Structure 1
Amino acid sequence: MTRFGHQVHGKLTVFLLTIVLFITLSSASTDSSVSSLSKEELCALDVQSSRRVLDILQVTPEPAPSHNESEPGVSPRILCFAVSYSAQHQTRVRAVAETWGQRCDKLLFFSNLSDIIVVGADTPSERRYEVVHLDIIADHAHLWLRTRAALKYLHTHYRHDYDWFYKCDDDTYAIIENMKKYLKRPEILQRVNREPMQMGHRFNMPDNAFNSYIRNKMLNALWRSRWDRMVYNSGGAGYVINRLYLDKIVDSLQDWTCLPDEASATMPEDAGVSFCMMWN
């Protein structure tokens, strides 16, 4: 699975670009006068121009279906989680909670400080999202250690409640409806309860980067005796794992092959997860 975006036919794309180009050209004659407008007037002009495109395309947002509307036993239950830090609680974290994160069956954040993100406060649609505290340094060099802790927490508290666990960054945007449709494909349903599964956008780690992280000579040599390249799913775009994968990765965290030394502990979390699972 490389992406969860909509496929757009070529002819439709050309049509939409033609509309935008037409509107842009028709507005070009006003460029000489915009320099004299105030900030408020410029914002109003920008909104007006955008509405012209939206009116032509007749874009109407669809409400998110409630969990009760899903077909029982068919629609996969997805827990989405992101590892962040306190400075981003009211920016990136809130942005996820206010938008696509609401389409997950459960949304959790992990950070250096515990918190509750309230969306739609004092309204009938008020929602609260928990930020779980991790007692680990909140920087990129410790992201693998923080992700390990998050996976353990999920396994302890939510292992039996959800079918899939989607890990992403705090600046990711995902279309959960597409993800759920993909996860309902027959070839996935046939395997989801039989074997560990992880899906995402694949990357290949350069050899020099691999050596900088895996400095344990015995571990490096053992790995190279079995594999010739380090392939992993990107944590930025996000990867989704099933319940059996969560079981297996948590069981593997104590193994000596699962990045035990200080240097390997700084490996990017997405590569770290894949590295540990390669031995299973």
Structure 2
Amino acid sequence: MTHCVTISSGLGCEATMGPYPCDITIPACTVSLFTDNNTAAGHISMMVRILCLITTTKQNHISKARHVAATWAKRCTKYIFVSSESDPSLPSIHFDIPEGRDHLWSKTKAAFKYAYDHYPKDIDWFMKADDDTYVILENLRLFLLTQRADDPIYVGCRFKREVKNGYMSGGAGYVLSRGALTAFVERALPNSSLCSADDTVNEDVEMGKCLENVGVRIQSSIDSAGRHRYAAYYFS
């Protein structure tokens, strides 16, 4: 079962909870990026630098993570698998955090703190995804090219519940700008009244609360035709 981040055309999830179509059709403009020796995609990749933080477990290194590493992760500017076990072949970094959904919030906080400490200047955008997410990086970069990385913004598949302004689905993946990452690490994480220290909270909901509390705004990913670029959907 896999989540899908389309960053392309199709319906999505900025309305109600439930199953969403996962349209991974590549628009004609994107096809040209692939067919022209990747020259356009390569140029944009230098302008829109993305660090992909991919959460996984040691049990999934072979069954899931290595396939992510062999496909879409290669198109990230840099990528790191966040796991409970180091694996140079992926590569993954080890955090001393127990496995399981109840500890996903701790793992996510640690991953973004690691990104803040190690990539303060050479990355513009920081994407959190799971090992069952699929992302079309070329389309993501085309969208982010229109945004300012130093603005505190956050992009993804928006669910309108539990948080005043909504939150982004963790399963579909979400992106923090450099400005959002700075606000999250410097202002939200040190203050438990702004950002929960409880391991067992829902990771994506709590991220939405933390970012809202420090003024990070949600940037709509809906295109000019009203279509959703992100979708949270399982397919097999």
Query: Under a length normalisation based on structure 1, what TM-score does the superposition of the two structures give?
Result: 0.61
The runs of 4+ residues in structure 1 deviating greater than 3 Å are: 59-69
**Deviation at residue 66 of structure 1 after TM alignment:** 7.6
Partner of 1:250: 185
RMSD: 2.8
The SS at the match of 1:81 is strand
C-alpha spacing 1:229/1:177, structure 2 compared with 1 (3 Å): same
8 A contact 1:3–1:201 mirrored in 2? no
Native 8 Å contact 1:200 1:233 kept in 2: yes
Taking the TM superposition and a 5 Å limit, the aligned residue runs for 1:52-201 are 62=34, 65=38, 69-70=42-43, 75-117=47-89, 129-185=90-146, 188-189=147-148, 192-193=149-150, 195-201=151-157
Report if the CA contact (8 A) 1:3-1:200 is conserved. Answer: no
Query: Structure 2: which amino acid aligns with 1:239?
Result: Y
Write the deviation string for residues 85-141 of structure 1: whole angstroms up to 9, x where unpaired: 100001110110011111111111010000022xxxxxxxxxxx4200010101100
User: For residues 68 and 239 of structure 1, do their structure 2 counterparts lie closer, same or farther at Cα, with a shift above 3 Å needed?
Assistant: closer
Percent same amino acid among aligned pairs? 35
Higher relative contact order structure (alpha carbons within 8 Å, sequence separation ≥ 6)? 2
Q: 1:62, 1:4 → 2: CA distance?
A: 16
- Which segments of 5 or more consecutive residues in structure 1 lack a partner in the other structure? 9-58, 118-128, 207-227
Partner of 1:5: 8
1:204·1:231 contact (CA, 8 Å) conserved in 2? yes
Aligned residues: 188
Report the counterpart of residue 158 of structure 2 in structure 1.
Answer: 202
Cα gap change, 1:144/1:67 in structure 2, threshold over 3 Å: closer, same or farther?
A: farther
Greater C-alpha Rg:
1
> 1:112·1:133 contact (CA, 8 Å) conserved in 2?
yes
Aligned counterparts, 1:208-227, within 5 A: none
Q: Alpha-carbon deviation of 1:235?
A: 1.1
Greater percentage in helix: 1
Tell me which of 175, 196, 209 is aligned to 1:259: 196
CA 1:72–1:205: 2 relative to 1, 3 Å: closer
Read off the aligned partner of 1:4 and give its amino acid letter: I
Hey, what's the Cα distance between the residues in 1 that align with 2:110 and 2:87?
A: 17
8 Å CA contact 1:201, 1:233 repeated in 2: yes
The alignment partner of 1:241 has SS state of strand
SS at match of 2:206: helix
What is the CA-CA distance between 1:5 and the residue it aligns to? 2.3
Distance 1:229 1:278 in 2: 8
Separation in 1 of the partners of 2:65 and 2:128?
A: 14
- Alpha-carbon separation, structure 1, partners of 2:191 and 2:32: 51
1:272 deviation in Å? 1.5
Change (3 A) 1:103 1:67: farther
Q: Secondary structure at the match of 1:110?
A: strand
